[in-house]
Chains A and B, each alone.
Chain A
Amino acid sequence: QLQLQESGPGLVKPSETLSLTCTVSGGSISSSSYYWGWIRQPPGKGLEWIGSIYYSGSTYYNPSLKSRVTISVDTSKNQFSLKLSSVTAADTAVYYCARERQQLPTNWFDPWGQGTLVTVSS
Protein backbone atom coordinates (compact mmCIF):
# COMPACT_ATOMS: atom_id res chain seq x y z
CA GLN A 1 0.00 0.00 0.00
CA LEU A 2 1.47 3.29 -1.09
CA GLN A 3 2.23 5.75 1.70
CA LEU A 4 3.57 9.30 1.68
CA GLN A 5 5.19 11.08 4.60
CA GLU A 6 6.08 14.76 4.79
CA SER A 7 9.06 15.93 6.81
CA GLY A 8 10.75 19.23 7.52
CA PRO A 9 10.91 22.14 9.97
CA GLY A 10 7.66 23.13 11.62
CA LEU A 11 8.76 26.71 12.14
CA VAL A 12 10.25 29.05 9.54
CA LYS A 13 11.17 32.69 9.97
CA PRO A 14 9.66 35.36 7.70
CA SER A 15 11.64 36.00 4.50
CA GLU A 16 13.37 32.61 4.77
CA THR A 17 12.84 29.49 2.66
CA LEU A 18 10.45 26.73 3.61
CA SER A 19 11.82 23.28 2.76
CA LEU A 20 9.85 20.03 2.94
CA THR A 21 10.46 16.50 1.73
CA CYS A 22 7.94 13.80 0.92
CA THR A 23 9.10 10.20 1.24
CA VAL A 24 7.19 7.63 -0.78
CA SER A 25 7.01 4.05 0.48
CA GLY A 26 5.24 0.96 -0.81
CA GLY A 27 5.76 1.93 -4.44
CA SER A 28 8.18 3.59 -6.83
CA ILE A 29 8.21 7.29 -7.47
CA SER A 30 9.36 6.43 -11.01
CA SER A 31 6.06 4.83 -11.98
CA SER A 32 4.58 6.10 -15.23
CA SER A 33 1.16 7.78 -15.22
CA TYR A 34 1.84 9.33 -11.83
CA TYR A 35 2.87 12.82 -10.90
CA TRP A 36 3.67 13.89 -7.35
CA GLY A 37 2.09 17.00 -5.92
CA TRP A 38 2.11 19.47 -3.08
CA ILE A 39 -1.08 21.00 -1.70
CA ARG A 40 -1.45 23.28 1.30
CA GLN A 41 -4.24 24.24 3.69
CA PRO A 42 -4.05 27.33 5.91
CA PRO A 43 -5.54 26.71 9.37
CA GLY A 44 -9.32 26.56 9.15
CA LYS A 45 -9.32 27.20 5.40
CA GLY A 46 -9.52 25.34 2.11
CA LEU A 47 -7.05 23.56 -0.14
CA GLU A 48 -4.59 25.19 -2.52
CA TRP A 49 -2.58 23.28 -5.10
CA ILE A 50 1.08 24.38 -5.12
CA GLY A 51 2.63 22.32 -7.90
CA SER A 52 3.50 18.87 -9.20
CA ILE A 53 6.45 16.95 -10.58
CA TYR A 54 7.00 13.87 -12.74
CA TYR A 55 9.85 11.48 -11.94
CA SER A 56 11.72 12.80 -14.98
CA GLY A 57 11.83 16.21 -13.31
CA SER A 58 9.11 17.86 -15.38
CA THR A 59 7.19 20.32 -13.23
CA TYR A 60 4.17 22.56 -13.30
CA TYR A 61 3.28 25.15 -10.71
CA ASN A 62 0.40 27.29 -9.57
CA PRO A 63 1.03 30.71 -11.16
CA SER A 64 0.11 32.39 -7.87
CA LEU A 65 3.20 30.84 -6.25
CA LYS A 66 5.40 30.07 -9.24
CA SER A 67 7.95 32.82 -8.60
CA ARG A 68 8.71 31.40 -5.15
CA VAL A 69 8.32 27.64 -5.62
CA THR A 70 10.74 24.92 -6.62
CA ILE A 71 9.77 21.24 -6.63
CA SER A 72 12.43 18.61 -7.21
CA VAL A 73 12.65 14.83 -7.23
CA ASP A 74 15.27 12.33 -6.04
CA THR A 75 14.39 8.96 -7.54
CA SER A 76 17.28 7.22 -5.76
CA LYS A 77 15.70 8.07 -2.42
CA ASN A 78 12.08 7.79 -3.62
CA GLN A 79 11.51 11.36 -2.47
CA PHE A 80 10.35 14.66 -3.82
CA SER A 81 10.79 18.06 -2.24
CA LEU A 82 9.26 21.51 -1.98
CA LYS A 83 11.04 24.80 -1.51
CA LEU A 84 9.06 28.00 -1.00
CA SER A 85 11.12 31.15 -0.72
CA SER A 86 10.50 34.53 0.91
CA VAL A 87 7.80 33.18 3.19
CA THR A 88 5.37 35.36 5.13
CA ALA A 89 2.71 34.60 7.72
CA ALA A 90 0.31 33.96 4.83
CA ASP A 91 2.31 30.81 4.04
CA THR A 92 1.45 29.27 7.42
CA ALA A 93 -0.41 26.10 6.55
CA VAL A 94 -0.57 22.35 6.71
CA TYR A 95 1.42 21.12 3.73
CA TYR A 96 0.38 17.85 2.12
CA CYS A 97 2.15 15.74 -0.44
CA ALA A 98 0.07 13.46 -2.64
CA ARG A 99 0.32 11.15 -5.60
CA GLU A 100 -1.29 12.67 -8.67
CA ARG A 101 -2.74 10.05 -10.98
CA GLN A 102 -2.98 11.02 -14.60
CA GLN A 103 -5.56 9.25 -16.70
CA LEU A 104 -6.22 11.51 -19.64
CA PRO A 105 -8.04 13.77 -19.83
CA THR A 106 -7.88 14.23 -16.08
CA ASN A 107 -5.76 13.98 -12.92
CA TRP A 108 -6.66 13.37 -9.30
CA PHE A 109 -4.83 13.15 -5.95
CA ASP A 110 -4.73 9.79 -4.20
CA PRO A 111 -3.39 9.00 -1.67
CA TRP A 112 -2.32 11.95 0.46
CA GLY A 113 0.29 12.17 3.17
CA GLN A 114 -0.79 12.98 6.71
CA GLY A 115 0.34 16.58 6.32
CA THR A 116 2.77 18.73 8.26
CA LEU A 117 2.05 22.09 9.84
CA VAL A 118 4.51 24.82 8.95
CA THR A 119 4.27 28.05 10.90
CA VAL A 120 5.95 31.22 9.66
CA SER A 121 6.92 33.34 12.62
CA SER A 122 9.92 35.12 14.04
Chain B
Amino acid sequence: EIVLTQSPDFQSVTPKEKVTITCRASQSIGSSLHWYQQKPDQSPKLLIKYASQSISGVPSRFSGSGSGTDFTLTINSLEAEDAATYYCHQSSSLPWTFGQGTKVEIK
Protein backbone atom coordinates (compact mmCIF):
# COMPACT_ATOMS: atom_id res chain seq x y z
CA GLU B 1 0.00 0.00 0.00
CA ILE B 2 1.29 3.45 -0.90
CA VAL B 3 1.45 5.78 2.09
CA LEU B 4 0.97 9.50 1.55
CA THR B 5 2.42 11.84 4.17
CA GLN B 6 1.32 15.45 4.17
CA SER B 7 3.07 18.35 5.86
CA PRO B 8 2.31 20.32 7.82
CA ASP B 9 -0.64 18.83 9.69
CA PHE B 10 -1.87 22.31 10.59
CA GLN B 11 -1.19 25.80 9.35
CA SER B 12 -2.50 29.13 10.62
CA VAL B 13 -2.26 31.77 7.91
CA THR B 14 -3.26 35.40 7.44
CA PRO B 15 -5.34 36.40 4.41
CA LYS B 16 -3.37 37.16 1.23
CA GLU B 17 -0.49 34.97 2.40
CA LYS B 18 0.79 32.14 0.23
CA VAL B 19 0.18 28.61 1.48
CA THR B 20 2.24 25.57 0.53
CA ILE B 21 1.22 22.03 1.44
CA THR B 22 3.39 19.07 0.56
CA CYS B 23 2.48 15.43 0.00
CA ARG B 24 5.15 12.75 -0.10
CA ALA B 25 4.47 9.26 -1.44
CA SER B 26 6.18 6.16 -0.05
CA GLN B 27 7.05 5.13 -3.63
CA SER B 28 6.94 6.72 -7.03
CA ILE B 29 3.40 7.37 -8.32
CA GLY B 30 4.18 9.31 -11.46
CA SER B 31 1.63 12.11 -11.63
CA SER B 32 -1.31 10.10 -10.27
CA LEU B 33 -1.84 12.49 -7.39
CA HIS B 34 -4.95 14.59 -6.79
CA TRP B 35 -5.92 17.25 -4.25
CA TYR B 36 -9.23 17.79 -2.47
CA GLN B 37 -10.59 20.52 -0.23
CA GLN B 38 -12.96 19.69 2.61
CA LYS B 39 -14.65 22.53 4.42
CA PRO B 40 -16.23 21.90 7.83
CA ASP B 41 -19.32 19.69 7.62
CA GLN B 42 -19.00 19.38 3.85
CA SER B 43 -17.91 16.61 1.53
CA PRO B 44 -14.52 16.78 -0.20
CA LYS B 45 -14.26 18.75 -3.42
CA LEU B 46 -11.74 18.08 -6.19
CA LEU B 47 -9.22 20.92 -6.53
CA ILE B 48 -6.40 19.59 -8.71
CA LYS B 49 -6.15 16.37 -10.73
CA TYR B 50 -3.12 14.54 -12.07
CA ALA B 51 -0.71 16.58 -9.92
CA SER B 52 -1.07 19.88 -11.76
CA GLN B 53 -4.19 19.95 -13.92
CA SER B 54 -6.70 22.61 -12.99
CA ILE B 55 -10.39 21.92 -12.47
CA SER B 56 -13.15 24.01 -14.01
CA GLY B 57 -14.71 26.32 -11.43
CA VAL B 58 -11.79 26.14 -9.00
CA PRO B 59 -10.18 29.56 -8.38
CA SER B 60 -6.88 30.10 -10.17
CA ARG B 61 -5.07 30.76 -6.90
CA PHE B 62 -4.98 26.99 -6.39
CA SER B 63 -2.19 25.17 -8.21
CA GLY B 64 -0.36 21.87 -7.98
CA SER B 65 3.06 20.61 -8.93
CA GLY B 66 5.32 17.62 -8.58
CA SER B 67 5.83 14.09 -9.82
CA GLY B 68 7.32 10.87 -8.60
CA THR B 69 7.19 11.04 -4.81
CA ASP B 70 7.00 14.74 -3.98
CA PHE B 71 4.02 16.96 -4.65
CA THR B 72 2.91 20.45 -3.67
CA LEU B 73 -0.41 22.25 -3.43
CA THR B 74 -0.04 26.02 -3.48
CA ILE B 75 -2.68 28.55 -2.57
CA ASN B 76 -1.66 32.01 -3.74
CA SER B 77 -3.13 34.92 -1.81
CA LEU B 78 -5.22 32.98 0.69
CA GLU B 79 -8.81 34.06 1.16
CA ALA B 80 -11.03 33.55 4.20
CA GLU B 81 -13.16 31.03 2.31
CA ASP B 82 -10.10 28.77 1.91
CA ALA B 83 -10.27 27.68 5.55
CA ALA B 84 -10.50 23.91 5.17
CA THR B 85 -8.69 20.61 5.40
CA TYR B 86 -6.78 19.60 2.28
CA TYR B 87 -6.13 16.00 1.29
CA CYS B 88 -3.92 14.42 -1.33
CA HIS B 89 -4.96 11.15 -2.97
CA GLN B 90 -3.03 8.66 -5.08
CA SER B 91 -4.45 6.41 -7.76
CA SER B 92 -1.23 4.96 -9.10
CA SER B 93 -1.78 1.56 -7.51
CA LEU B 94 -4.49 -0.14 -5.53
CA PRO B 95 -5.63 0.39 -2.90
CA TRP B 96 -6.27 4.06 -3.50
CA THR B 97 -5.01 6.00 -0.47
CA PHE B 98 -5.26 9.49 0.96
CA GLY B 99 -2.91 11.66 2.95
CA GLN B 100 -3.80 12.38 6.58
CA GLY B 101 -4.92 15.91 5.76
CA THR B 102 -3.63 19.43 6.34
CA LYS B 103 -5.89 21.83 8.19
CA VAL B 104 -5.59 25.47 7.13
CA GLU B 105 -6.88 28.03 9.59
CA ILE B 106 -7.31 31.72 8.89
CA LYS B 107 -5.71 34.00 11.49
Contact = CB atoms under 8 A, between A and B. Distances in A.
Interface of A: 46-49, 60-64, 96, 103, 105-115
A47 B34 contact: no
Interface string B69-107: 000000000000000000101011011111111000000
Nearest to B55: A110
A25 B77 CA distance: 36
Contacts of B98: 46-49
Interface of B: 1, 30-32, 34, 36, 42-46, 49-50, 55, 87, 89, 91-92, 94-101
A63 B95 contact: yes
Contacts of B91: 106-108
25 contacts: A46-B87, A47-B44, A47-B98, A47-B101, A49-B96, A62-B96, A63-B95, A96-B43, A105-B30, A106-B30, A106-B31, A106-B49, A106-B50, A106-B91, A107-B91, A108-B34, A108-B49, A108-B50, A108-B89, A110-B49, A110-B55, A111-B46, A112-B43, A112-B44, A112-B45
A115 B44 CA distance: 10
Q: Give 3 nearest A-B pairs by CB, closest first.
A: A110-B46, A106-B32, A112-B43
A53 B55 CA distance: 24
